[in-house]
Amino acid sequence: EVQLQASGGGMVQAGGSLRLSCAASGITWDQYTIAWFRQAPGKEREGVACVTTTGGTKYYADSVKGRFTMSSDNAKKTVYLQMNSLKSEDTAVYYCAAERIPSIFVQSTWNNPHVYTNLWGQGTLVTVSS
């Protein structure tokens, strides 16, 4: 069965850290873009960060640059989102998604949730208290 399993959410105080994990199964790992999205109540889903499984290229939303770091363990087919210096505005349900995006389009499309047609993990809630 093809699936993404997201984990690692929780409650943390502002300034704290969390690490999210997204484990894939049932897919060939090559040439995927794995992205994290988040959705706060009443807001649209927004792209947070992504990594390409071939080449390891990473992109970040401006709102998380310098605070969040993507990494991947290709042997485990798992990507991680290390979130440091968390703020109350980071509170949201976080989702991981995977899609084979042609490399020339990754930079311009990675943060569009509609690009990810099939593979979404279940959400994991991150709550940052101020």
Owner of token pair 């990473």: 58
From the number of C-beta atoms within 10 Å of its C-beta (0-12, 13-18, 19+), residue 34 rates as buried
In tens, the pLDDT along 40-92 reads 999 999 999 999 999 999 999 999 999 999 999 999 999 999 999 999 999 99
**Cβ–Cβ under 8 Å, residues 119 and 82:** no
Cβ neighbors of 84 (< 8 A, separation 6 or more) are 17, 67, 68, 69
State the Cα–Cα distance between residues 73 and 94, nearest whole angstrom.
Answer: 19
Residue-wise pLDDT tens digits, 12-33: 999 999 999 999 999 888 899 9
